[in-house]
Amino acid sequence: MAWSFPILRVAGSEVRIHLTFLLLLAWIGLSQYFAYGTAAAVDSVLFLLAVFACVVLHEFGHVLTARRYGITTPDITLLPIGGLARLSRLPDKPSEEIVIALAGPVVNLAILLVLLLFGAQLSTETLTAIENPAPGFIDRLAVVNIFLAVFNLIPAFPMDGGRVLRAALSIPLGRQRATRIAAGIGQGFAFLLGFLGLMSGNAILVFIAIFVYLAAAAEAGQVSLMELANRLPVERAMVVRFESLPTDATVRVAADALLRSAQREFPILDGAGRLRGFLTRDAMVQAIGTTGPDTPVLSAMRPVPSVQTGERLSTALRRMEADRSPVVAVLDGDSRMVGYVCHENIGEILMLNEAESQYGNRPKTQQSGGVSAGSGPSR
């Protein structure tokens, strides 16, 4: 996710923190400092860090449960509304998705139990005034865990409850429609939350609403992409007309190619047409700025993942994700590069598919001749 950076690695998962989480930390600390002084500021920052630890544990509830079904989690991103554990793939069975989704809130309830054992008190005061520092630290932390469990069980994307709903709906409706519905409820919920926030002048609520909205939209997009990518062979989405660079080219030559074409990343091919690596626009700019335009492309390029012709587009996407690569090369049986897939043409194939399904959903009488449904814009 953009605007996030890694802070630690636990059990094969990278824990990343989103910039907005740090902003929230700074904002709470400063507002407490100006209102109540240093002690209050330290208390509230420590408290937020404890909340942060509970969120991480919640995410590890998902991560470790997913691992039981053989699903790895390359990273977890911490946002002000909670964490997002990115699963390497969606669980095959709806029942597995339900168990993985519920594991997070269950962790918060377990933390609550532990805090109660350590003497946390749940009075009506602590339940109603969470920002009031008068009740004890662990009392407030107990309340936060109740909140985290309840908030995450709301049946709307991107909350865990939304995943449970999606999994349950996917049994009769299929995953794509189920995701649309859960994401739609998520966006409706976000509007409601935003409205309440604006009416009550609560900026945090508005902030959460924006995040919920964006995350719900992203989730719906991701699922439609994966559903589509599972059906398509990689050849259907790859770029086949491209400029390549020879292994003895310099970055200056690459820069000329960048300007005269719309291409942003250039494959470096040897005499036999075998791929050595890709030179991206960013790497080009960086090389010119640091080692100069005469830098050989071989030292500025990066290796990229590859797939064989005939493999699914989804395989290509997974390799791109796993390597955080901007492109994936498509190789034929002799390891010669026949094309490549980049973010741009994935976006295009999604747009075309969306347009095609809109056309397909129109009443048949409105469809005019020329293009028959199903052939449409695809190759």
Binding residues (CB under 5 A) for Zn ion: these are 104, 152, 160
Look at residues 2, 3, 1 and name the one whose alpha carbon lies nearest to residue 19: 3
Of 152 and 306, nearer to Zn ion (C-beta) is 152
Of 91 and 104, nearer to Zn ion (C-beta) is 104
Of 162 and 197, nearer to Zn ion (C-beta) is 162
The pair phi, psi for residue 326, each rounded to 5°, is: -75, -20
Cβ at position 58, least distance to Zn ion in Å: 5
Cβ at position 5, least distance to Zn ion in Å: 21
Of 24 and 159, nearer to Zn ion (C-beta) is 159
Give the CA distances from residue 222 to residues 76, 90, 179, 183, 265, in Å, rounded to whole numbers and listed in that order.
Answer: 17, 11, 10, 11, 24
Cβ at position 190, least distance to Zn ion in Å: 17
Look at residues 347, 356, 361, 350 and name the one whose alpha carbon lies nearest to residue 375: 356
Cβ at position 113, least distance to Zn ion in Å: 18
**245-246 sheet: strands from edge to edge:** 245-246, 265-269, 275-280
Of 13 and 152, nearer to Zn ion (C-beta) is 152
The tokens of 220 are what? 């719906």
The residue count of the chain comes to: 379
Cβ at position 101, least distance to Zn ion in Å: 7
Of 158 and 197, nearer to Zn ion (C-beta) is 158
Of 79 and 268, nearer to Zn ion (C-beta) is 79
Of 60 and 340, nearer to Zn ion (C-beta) is 60
DSSP 346: H
What is the C-alpha to C-alpha distance for residues 145 and 207, in angstroms, rounded to an integer?
Answer: 20
Q: Using the structure block, give the residue that is written with the tokens 């960013």.
A: 282
Amino acid symbol at 44: S
Of 160 and 219, nearer to Zn ion (C-beta) is 160
Cβ at position 210, least distance to Zn ion in Å: 19
Give the CA distances from residue 289 to residues 170, 205, 348, in Å, rounded to whole numbers and listed in that order.
Answer: 51, 44, 32
Cβ at position 189, least distance to Zn ion in Å: 16
| Pairing mode of beta strands 13-18, 75-79 | parallel
Cβ at position 61, least distance to Zn ion in Å: 7
Contact yes or no for 110/149 (Cβ under 8 A)? no
Residue 177, number of CB atoms within 10 A of its CB: 13
Give the CA distances from residue 340 to residues 320, 347, 377, in Å, rounded to whole numbers and listed in that order.
Answer: 11, 14, 20
The residue sitting closest to Zn ion, measured at its beta carbon, is 104
Give the CA distances from residue 273 to residues 14, 244, 276, 298, 304, in Å, rounded to whole numbers and listed in that order.
Answer: 36, 10, 9, 15, 16
Cβ at position 163, least distance to Zn ion in Å: 8
